Structure 1
Amino acid sequence: MGDPAGIGPEIVLKALANPAIKKNCLPLVLGDWGVLQRTKVQAKLLTKLRHWQKGDALLPMLNNSSGVVMPLSELKAAESRPAKPTKAAGHAAYRYIYEAAQMVLMRSADAMATAPISKHSLIDAGYDYPGHTELLAELGGTPECRMMLIGAKLRVVPVTGHIAMSEVPQQLNRDGILTTLELTQRNLKNAFAIKKPRIAVAALNPHAGEKGIFGDEEIKIIAPAVQAAKRKGIEAHGPLPADTLFHHAARGKYDAVVCMYHDQGLIPLKLHHFYGGVAYTLGPPFIRTSVDHGTAYDIAGKNRADETSMIEAILLAARLARLRIKRRQ
């Protein structure tokens, strides 16, 4: 359900009302019953919910409801007031993520799709993670994780995550870029069934550094990583100037673009897919998708949140789960 004080409860309820969800999966919401009911009234939604606990048969409950909820917190109204991040909300959001991860690890669920969380609330509650990705890496026992952002025209994978721009050059290294390429290749083949993925690698500097005139990261770090990837059988192209790369990627020349920093990849992705973009975590031993936006406190509780990204995240999780189940058979 995400942060109880953000738009997570609203977009989850709106997504459950979309017929495509129940046609493609059996959705189970891990969250707070009271928060969802208050959100339902506030947003004037007709979503019919049912309580669920471990051991209950899910399908019969879904047959006569819009969604089934496993209550994991009982926040008071003051602790979950829209647009007001609290320590209690941070504790609750962590528990939703933790329990979902345990369910997919134990295979009592096939995938998880997450609504947005507040990094401030998590940190206030004592969970010092920059975001979902780092938390899921720990819960999944995976040392290396990356985030792939997906739209109908683009897939982008940043090498570095939520860090200041001033730190990006210091954080970039050959091994980190190579690991990102390996994770991207593996998931394009295994999760998306692309037999021979074509991966573009964005340069860091303008004009790919212009042979060292505008920076030497391309020469010293990025190009060696690309060459190492090629020796491992990865079809990697680059480093390529970012100002033209995304034009070609959005027209199908590449299956994914590895980017050097967060906004380098997310700006073009959101330009093309502002409402329907989805995040997919590379690395953990389970399927996790997410919306590609934040808690949007400025519109929380105002019935203005668009649920498209939540719907797409759930549908992608269901599709990837079906592919994984098929491979296991």
Structure 2
Amino acid sequence: MSHELQKPVVGFTCGDLNGIGIELIIKSLADGRITEFCVPVIFASNKSINFYRKVVPDINFSYQAVKDFSRLNPKQINVFNCWEEEVQITPGQLNDIGGKYALLSLQQGVQALKEGNIQALVTAPIHKKNIQSEAFNYSGHTPYLKAVFEVSDVVMLMVAENMRVALLTEHVPVSEIAQYVTKANILSKLKILHASLQKDFGVDKPKIAVLGLNPHAGDEGLIGNEEETIIKPAVKEAKQQNMLVFGPYSADAFFARGHYEKFDAVLAMYHDQGLIPFKSLAIGEGVNYTAGLPAIRTSPDHGTAFDIAGKGKADHNSFIEATYKAIDIAHMRLGYAEMRRNPLRKMSNMIVANAQDEVIKEDAE
């Protein structure tokens, strides 16, 4: 197999057409070195790319248009035209056009992912309101991908250099969180997280911390009983299934005292419990990874940023980190599959992330 064919084909959805998605893609892929590591495919249209190329005129961005995956140029950026019609782009405005074409791009990208035409997908931010339709009745990318790939469960996993935070519940109203805190749900998330840490991040024996739902992790039942009746039994059963799972921990002290540094991942009970400390303490740029899918999907850890859309001000660091994380995981999965076929063979294609995770694991022990 040639070197060119070994590079993963990575797809990019444009997100809300009036948001910062295409600007992020252009800025991230403009560095010619990106084609040394992957074959980029943007799911949008030539006209939409050209519109935002004018927003960042100081960047030299070239591409080739394709309609057939067999004609991808491995040394160039490829634009897969998802629509041909003229579309009125109005940066910063929340309207039906932005949502309609965000969904069209997403549908084409996911189809390519399912059919194996691309090995990973990086999704630009959508607006959860204007993308709603008969074809998209979900609270975000994660539940949509779960449904499309027909898997029983997935995990929203936030990844940074120094921490990984998974969520038991995602975009759920605070008043409804407790009803999702069940032993079955916790065990499901832990199994997916454990498997992903091994297969996608190269952690041989992952250590996972579980946070409590209530203040002070319930204070032995004085402030709620979910820890005693649900979370502790789930942790116990996970240990019986040969997973290194610990907790529940009081969320405030756990992050304030740096205990997260001793674990390979943390399972938080709800969105803000995990995302606030992640965005406050993460070193480097955060990436959102959907664990539990048969395919690879990453995204930046921010939204559409309508307030700066079309102004050339968007910071692309999280997006480019999401791109490289997708490439890393693609290589990691290849190495993991090879290891399972032949555990005695040295996995020469394992990337530096594997060694870094081993250091984290040894420090935790």
Q: Which TM-score bucket, shorter chain as reference?
A: over 0.9
Distance 2:34 2:258 in 1: 29
2:172 matched to 1:163?
Answer: yes
2:42 matched to 1:29?
Answer: yes
Residue 47 of structure 1 deviates from its aligned partner by 1.4
Which of 44, 47, 52 aligns to 1:39? It is 52
Distance 1:177 1:306 in 2: 35
Pairs within 5 Å for 1:204-243: 204-243=213-252
Of 14-23 and 127-136, the range deviating more from structure 2? 14-23
TM, length-normalised to structure 2: 0.84
Pairs within 5 Å for 1:235-254: 235-247=244-256, 252-254=261-263
Distance 1:211 1:250 in 2: 20
Residue-by-residue CA offset, 1:198-232 (whole Å, 9 max, x unaligned):
00001111111111111111111111111111111
Name the residue aligned to 1:151: 160
Q: Tell me which of the two structures has the higher relative contact order, counting C-alpha pairs closer than 8 angstroms and 6 or more residues apart.
A: 1
Name the residue aligned to 1:134: 143
Distance 2:254 2:39 in 1: 39
Name the residue aligned to 1:71: 81
Name the residue aligned to 1:263: 272
Residue 20 of structure 1 deviates from its aligned partner by 4.7
2:58 matched to 1:49?
Answer: no
Which of 294, 312, 325 aligns to 2:303? It is 294
Give the match's secondary structure for 2:306.
Answer: coil
Q: Is the 8 A contact 2:160 2:284 kept in 1?
A: no
Residue-by-residue CA offset, 1:146-194 (whole Å, 9 max, x unaligned):
1100011110001001011111112211111111111100100111110
2:105 matched to 1:96?
Answer: yes
Name the residue aligned to 1:322: 331
Structure 1 residues 157 and 46 mapped into 2: Cα distance closer, same or farther (>3 Å)?
Answer: same
Q: How many residues align?
A: 323
Distance 1:140 1:264 in 2: 28
Q: Is the 8 A contact 2:127 2:304 kept in 1?
A: yes
Give % identity. Answer: 35
Distance 2:281 2:35 in 1: 27
Residue 33 of structure 1 deviates from its aligned partner by 1.9
Residue-by-residue CA offset, 1:15-34 (whole Å, 9 max, x unaligned):
00234522321111111321
Q: Is the 8 A contact 2:35 2:74 kept in 1?
A: no
Give the match's secondary structure for 1:27.
Answer: strand
TM, length-normalised to structure 1: 0.93
Q: Is there any run of 5+ residues in structure 1 with no aligned partner, and where?
A: none
AA paired with 1:31? A
2:74 matched to 1:59?
Answer: yes
Name the residue aligned to 1:197: 206
Give the match's secondary structure for 2:81.
Answer: strand
AA paired with 2:45? D
Q: Is the 8 A contact 1:91 1:125 kept in 2?
A: no
Which of 84, 91, 112 aligns to 2:121? It is 112
Residue-by-residue CA offset, 1:270-314 (whole Å, 9 max, x unaligned):
113487100110121101111111111111111111001110111
Residue 237 of structure 1 deviates from its aligned partner by 0.6
Give the match's secondary structure for 1:289.
Answer: strand
Name the residue aligned to 1:85: 94
Q: Could you say what the CA RMSD is over the residues aligned between the two structures, in angstroms?
A: 1.8
